[in-house]
Amino acid sequence: MEFIPVNEPLLNGNEKKYLCECIDSGWISSEGPFVKEFESKMSATVGRKYGIAVSNGTAALEVAVQALSISAGDEVIMPTFTIISCAMAVTKMGAIPVLVDSDLHTWNMNVDEIEAKITDKTKAIMVVHIYGLPVEMDKILELAEKYNLKIIEDAAEMHGQMYNGKPCGSFGDISTFSFYPNKHVTTGEGGMVVTDDEKLAERCRMLRNLCFQKDVRYVHNEISDNYRFTNLQAAVGLAQLERLDEFIEKKREMGRYYTENLADIKGLILPLSKKDYAENIYWVYGVVLDKDIQMDNRTVQKLLAKEGIGTRTFFWCMHEQPVYRNEGLFLDESYPNAEYLARKGFYIPSGLALTKEQMKAVVIGVRNIMSEII
């Protein structure tokens, strides 16, 4: 039995050709010409003026938070159901993540809970679009305007997705992307911040490069990291971007196929195919065990692994992270919807290299296991 991995990227376009150009020309560092080309092409896909490529999506969030001068004591509102990169970017600066529960249907942050969490210390809302449907942006934009808050938009999972016809990645004062191999566009490791603000863009460029100053080299006024992005990564990224439309279409086809073929299975909640503001882009195809199933996600995932099906658990909530609890953060907090998703949700193989035969095998495997445990 062939094991079906949860993700495998598709690298059969111009990736090899552009990589060979790097080797042949000797341009392999962050100074190479593909980096700027990738920055301008990627930021153009979401209609932004500036793109600053960095070493990964986590670095992009860190640069975004620091660029907005979020610092000790400031509060940033974000979903508890997300990747730790979001919270870490905030806590690294000494600022405090203020958490919001999930909507059980879209799995995104429940925007109706945000306003009650705003205090005079709130500096920003970190919007994270989760798994395939965008966050309801209208409400966020309204709150940001009303309370004079910045928006950091984590669009790592949203390459090519639109909210009411406007690209995800175009809503934040700074928006971020990741190019990890399970994202719609990959560069192996990689990330980008995008913005329309020239000053912020300049600051992000400085922050990605140890805060070197433009004029006086080796004299530094601020601390940051080396988050540079190489010409080799950009070479792969350019080849990937050429196929973005095709990749999105493929993801949506995958989502339709799974939904058609899994819809009648008892005990399994499938992702919403659309909301009035967006059609699901299925960054991953997530499923959630319903209340009738006594098992948790990990137990079911082990059974699926025995059938040769790779899966990945949903995020673990920020308020339940040992690292933060040990520091005394979030101790009395509970977010029942997010806790439910974290214990009952997982995603099934949905990488771009997945074949129709593999999808059929996944459907059969999921059916078998679910009929055994219901």
Ligand X SMILES: *Cc1c(COP(=O)(O)O)cnc(C)c1O
157 belongs to the binding site for ligand X (CB under 6 A): yes
Q: Does 127 bind ligand X (CB under 6 A)?
A: no
Greatest CA separation found in the chain? 68
128 binds ligand X (CB under 6 A): yes
Rounded least distance, CB 326 to ligand X, Å: 23
Residue 154 binds ligand X, judged by CB under 6 A? yes
Residue 199 CA to its chain's centroid (Å)? 25
Q: Burial, 3: exposed, middle or buried (Cβ in 10 Å; 0-12, 13-18, 19+)?
A: exposed
Give the angle 125-131-137 at the CA atoms, nearest 5°: 35
Instruction: State how far Cα 314 lies from the chain centre.
Output: 13
365 is an interface residue for ligand X by CB under 6 A: no
Cα 193–198–203 angle (5° rounding)? 60
DSSP lists the bridge partners of residue 151 as 125
Q: Which residue is nearest to ligand X (CB)?
A: 57
Establish if 56 lies at the interface with ligand X (CB under 6 A). Answer: yes
Q: Tell me how far, at minimum, the Cβ of 160 lies from ligand X, in Å.
A: 14
For ligand X, the closer CB: 74 or 154: 154
Pick one of 57, 134, 286, 351: the residue that binds ligand X (CB under 6 A): 57
Q: Give the number of C-alpha atoms closer than 13 A to the C-alpha of residue 99, restricted to the C-beta side.
A: 27
Q: Which of 7, 45, 85, 297 lies at the binding interface for ligand X (CB under 6 A)? A: 85
The nearest distance, CB 315 to ligand X, in angstroms, is: 9
Under 8 Å CB-to-CB from 34, ≥6 apart: which residues? 18, 22, 27, 231, 234, 235, 237, 238
DSSP label of 270: P
Q: Which of 38, 81, 180, 227 binds ligand X (CB under 6 A)?
A: 180
**Is residue 240 at the binding interface for ligand X, with CB under 6 A as the rule?**
no
Indicate the residue among 27 and 195 with the shorter CB distance to ligand X: 195
Q: What is each CA distance from 316 to 19, 92, 97, 337, in whole angstroms? A: 36, 19, 15, 12
Q: Is residue 58 involved in binding ligand X (CB under 6 A)?
A: yes
Q: Can residue 108 be called a binding residue for ligand X (CB under 6 A)?
A: no
Asked whether position 83 contacts ligand X by CB under 6 A, the answer is: yes
Contacts of 273 (CB under 8 A, 6+ apart): 255, 256, 259, 279, 280
Q: Per the structure block, which two tokens stand in for 191?
A: 């990330």
Work out whether 175 is an interface residue with ligand X (CB under 6 A): no
Which range touches ligand X (CB under 6 A), out of 55-63, 104-112, 164-172, 242-250?
55-63
Chain residues in the site for ligand X (CB under 6 A) = 56-58, 83, 85, 128, 154, 156-157, 178, 180, 191
